Copies of this chain bind each other. A is one copy, B any other.
Amino acid sequence: MVEKNIENAIEAILFVAGEAMKISDIASALEESEVTVSSVADRMIEERKKNESGIEILRLGNKLQLSTNQAYEPYIKKLFMPDNTYTITNAAIETLSIIAYNQPITRGEIEKIRGVSCTYSLGALLAKGLISEAGKKETLGHPILYATTDEFLRHFGLSDLMELPKLAEQENE
């Protein structure tokens, strides 16, 4: 497949999907290697950034998703007045940062760091889809493990967990 065609097909696929699509699934539909699709996607991301396109491509871990460019938010607000600009409370964001840097992690482990009960903020984060259950820990009582989701990456404008800023302690290492 010619590279230009791969680009166009990726665009069409992401448009229909709406949500984040695995690069591997796209690659198998196009009968191309993951490496190829991944590098074509990188170029598309770059080009759209450069052109300040209205529709951007986000890389979320090993997935791709279309999104509007924030620069045009004022016009979109004017036309649709969408109400998707929720923010997170301080308690919840503390809990979330502990999960983000230590996932997967149990409620008990989070509470040990925060020194308070986290039932409430965990519930709020689950309800917003920012975290999800990610199995059970192989210890006594098999407590539930929590991890961040694609929505978490989107909400904070990250393409990957590796993009989280380094913790103070890690910088000193």
**Residues of A in contact with B (beta carbons under 8 Å apart):** 4-5, 7-18, 21, 25-26, 29-30, 51-55, 66, 68-69, 71-72, 75-76, 78-83, 116-117, 140-141
Contact = CB atoms under 8 A, between A and B. Distances in A.
A14 B57 CA distance: 16
Nearest to A25: B79
Contacts of A26: 79
A33 to B, nearest CB: 15
B13 A54 contact: yes
Contacts of A75: 9, 12-13, 29-30
Contacts of A72: 8-9, 12-13
**Copies of this chain assembled into the complex:** 2
Contacts of A51: 4, 8
16 contacts: A5-B52, A8-B53, A8-B71, A8-B72, A11-B53, A11-B55, A12-B68, A13-B54, A13-B76, A15-B66, A16-B68, A16-B76, A17-B79, A26-B79, A29-B79, A80-B141
A66 B83 CA distance: 22
A8 B29 CA distance: 29
The 3 closest A-B pairs by CB, nearest first: A11-B54, A12-B54, A12-B72
A9 B15 CA distance: 17
A16 B117 CA distance: 10
Contact of A69 (B8, B54, B117): B8
A153 B163 CA distance: 48
Contacts of A71: 8
A164 B122 CA distance: 42
